């Protein structure tokens, strides 16, 4: 398989796990020390870049942070997370660069989120960079950076919106 095909398979698997709410499968795509980063914007044109000096919309320094979010989303104890939103993630414009560390994958994500309780829908679009590393079981996500372009958030944002 080409690098593009392998990378695409990982990204499509991530999108499908989010849409089908297969949270264990989604988490399993990440390495234990995976960084999950959604920057905020300094101003009209510049996103924040240093998560240790600037504010991010979401910054998880390891998979444990994602596990906490999944627990909150699925635990039934967060009014914001219920009823579960229906989502459709479309992934496109995938470009892959190979280097010694693995694959650096750039893509564009369009996430449609339907809030069933309010009968409202929102679209979030981001430019995403995945750093993929090879493990025995296949490619894993070591770093996911999603630059959300429409950052005036309608009520809330969670990992299923990205």
| Least gap, CB of 28 to other proteins (angstroms) | 19
Tokens for 74? 């699925």
Cis check: omega of the bond before 83, within 30 degrees of 0: yes
Among 5, 68, 97, 150, binds other proteins (CB under 8 A): 68
**84 in contact with other proteins (CB under 8 A):** no
Is 150 within 8 Å of 125 (Cβ atoms)? yes
Tokens for 162? 């990205």
Among 22, 32, 33, 42, binds other proteins (CB under 8 A): 42
| Least gap, CB of 142 to other proteins (angstroms) | 20
For residues 101 to 120, the per-residue mask of contacts with other proteins, x marking binding by CB under 8 A and - elsewhere, is -----------------x--
Which helix (H) or strand (E) segment holds residue 144: the answer is strand 138-148
């Amino acid at each position: 398989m080409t690098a593009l095909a392998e990378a695409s398979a990982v990204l499509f698997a991530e999108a499908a796990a989010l849409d089908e709410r297969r949270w264990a499968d989604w988490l399993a795509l990440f390495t234990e020390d995976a960084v999950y980063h959604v920057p905020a914007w300094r101003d009209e044109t510049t996103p924040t870049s240093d998560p240790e000096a600037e504010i991010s919309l979401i910054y998880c320094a390891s998979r444990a942070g994602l596990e906490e979010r999944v627990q909150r989303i699925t635990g039934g104890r967060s009014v914001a997370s219920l009823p579960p939103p229906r989502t459709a993630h479309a992934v496109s414009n995938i470009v892959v660069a190979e280097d010694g560390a693995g694959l650096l994958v750039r893509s564009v994500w369009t996430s449609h989120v339907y809030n069933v309780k309010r009968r409202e829908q929102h679209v979030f679009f981001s430019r995403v960079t995945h750093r993929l590393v090879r493990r025995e079981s296949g490619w894993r996500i070591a770093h996911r950076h999603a630059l959300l372009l429409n950052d005036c958030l309608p009520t809330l944002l969670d990992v299923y919106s990205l």
